[in-house]
Structure 1
Amino acid sequence: MFNGEISASSLQQISPVSFAYIGDAVYELYIRTNFLLPSKKISDYHHKVVEKVRAESQASYLQNLYPLLTEIELNWVRRGRNSVNKSPRRLPLQTYQQATGLETLLGYLYICDRPRLEYLLSQIKIY
């Protein structure tokens, strides 16, 4: 597991897409964890989680987080958004870019600032 220590030069070597890859996993684990109680069938969990991890939901959550973000965080969101120029057929490009921006931010914070990550995730109203 990553130990949370990374140099500035190493940080520059990580692409926004790589942070989005990590952020996607962090976000899905956060969503899954929030639906553990009350206990339900796995299929019920799955349907709720899928609804919340869709790009449309992620884009919406990012819009709500914007006022809380620092300049550095906004820069990572922008870099993540700009790292994709093609979306799945079912999605408008802008929605996919916003979702990727959120995932990039979450991946960056997972690597660099876990307390800040936890704070921002706590601000997402998933219910």
Structure 2
Amino acid sequence: MTADYKQMNGIALAYMGDAIYEVFVREHLLDKGMVKPTHLHHTATRYVSAKAHAALYALMEADDILSEEEQNYFRRGRNAKSHTGAKNTDVVTYRTSTGIEALFGYLYLSRQEDRLNFLANWCIEQVEAGRTLNNAK
């Protein structure tokens, strides 16, 4: 990888992180035996929507699972100035979602595969357990 993640802005990190987390979710859904595209898409939104990301971040804070460096990269994404607006959600939720995506981008680009796998699977487990439903706005 030639890109230096340490120099990237939060939006660039989020761009990568969005794709990375989406792959984890898609693989999980296929592993569960889902094959119909419409069902896959609708189910995936439980994991990858801005509201789901915001709920997952609230759980990350409650469970105190992020390191200080991970929190810094989350904030880099959350505080980044985006030129696109939030769709179907409020600005705070959208920015929190961008922070989660930036965190995943950071973990991927810094080659922290074990931590990336742990955190992605932890997120999927929280959605599966219904914990995000109680925290979604």
The answer to whether TM tops 0.5 is: yes
Alignment TM class, shorter chain as reference: 0.7 to 0.9
Distance 1:89 1:19, change over 3 A: closer
Shift of 1:89: 5.1
Deviation >6 Å, runs of 4+? none
TM-score calculated relative to the size of structure 1: 0.85
Amino acid of the structure 2 residue aligned with 1:60: A
Q: Residue deviations 1:46-68, cap 9 Å, x none?
A: 11013321100111112112310
Is the 2:5–2:13 contact (alpha carbons within 8 Å) kept by the matching residues of 1? no
**Pick aligned residue for 1:78 from 72, 75, 80:** 75
Map 1:59-98 to 2 at 5 A: 59-66=54-61, 67-84=64-81, 87-88=85-86, 90-98=88-96
Percent of residue pairs bearing the same amino acid type: 31
Alignment root-mean-square deviation, CA: 1.9
Aligned residues, how many?
121
TM-score by length of 2: 0.79
Tell me which amino acid in the other structure corresponds to 1:34: H
Unaligned runs of 5+ in 1: none
The 1:74–1:44 alpha-carbon spacing in structure 2 relative to 1, beyond 3 Å, is: same
